Amino acid sequence: MKLSSDVLDVLRDDLVFVATSSSVGVPNVVPIGFARPLDDETILIADNFMDKTRKNLEENPKMALIPKEAAKCPYQFKGTVQIFTSGKYFDEVTEWGENAMTKLKPKAAILMKIQETYTVKPGPEAGKKLE
């Protein structure tokens, strides 16, 4: 499922929770403020402070993400990431950092390509994959 304009609006404004897993299967979840949709299937994330998240992604480039406002936007997104430490995506997150209230210097740009979307809306359809 491609991201609808309502979902794009929530993702533009909201904190998201990002889950990763090490190659031996230890899960890790963190809140992330600098995550913005670039288009209807791609989310750009700034690695400002990542530690376990970044190590996990280098071992296993799979990510799951839900918006903090899951009551308003009840979706779980899963995808594969690429990590950039230079180039246009890195320049973009660097600009976000320069324009932040407290200046930040991102270490990398994480580009998530959404491959699967699931509903987490409470009810009989909860957990179902959306096409």
Ligand X SMILES: Cc1cc2nc3c(=O)[nH]c(=O)nc-3n(C[C@H](O)[C@H](O)[C@H](O)COP(=O)(O)O)c2cc1C
Calpha distance 131→122 (Å, rounded): 18
Do 94 and 103 contact (CB within 8 A), yes or no? no
**Region near ligand X per CB under 6 A, out of 4-12, 32-40, 74-82, 123-131:** 32-40
Sole binder of ligand X in the list 8, 11, 44, 50 (CB under 6 A): 50
> Exposed, middle or buried by CB within 10 Å (0-12, 13-18, 19+), for 1?
middle
Nearer to ligand X, 52 or 105 (CB): 52
Sole binder of ligand X in the list 37, 43, 53, 109 (CB under 6 A): 53
Sole binder of ligand X in the list 15, 26, 38, 126 (CB under 6 A): 15
Sole binder of ligand X in the list 3, 7, 8, 32 (CB under 6 A): 32
Two tokens at 71? Answer: 């009551």
Residue of 72, 91, 69 whose CA lies nearest to 16: 69
Does residue 125 bind ligand X (CB under 6 A)?
Answer: no
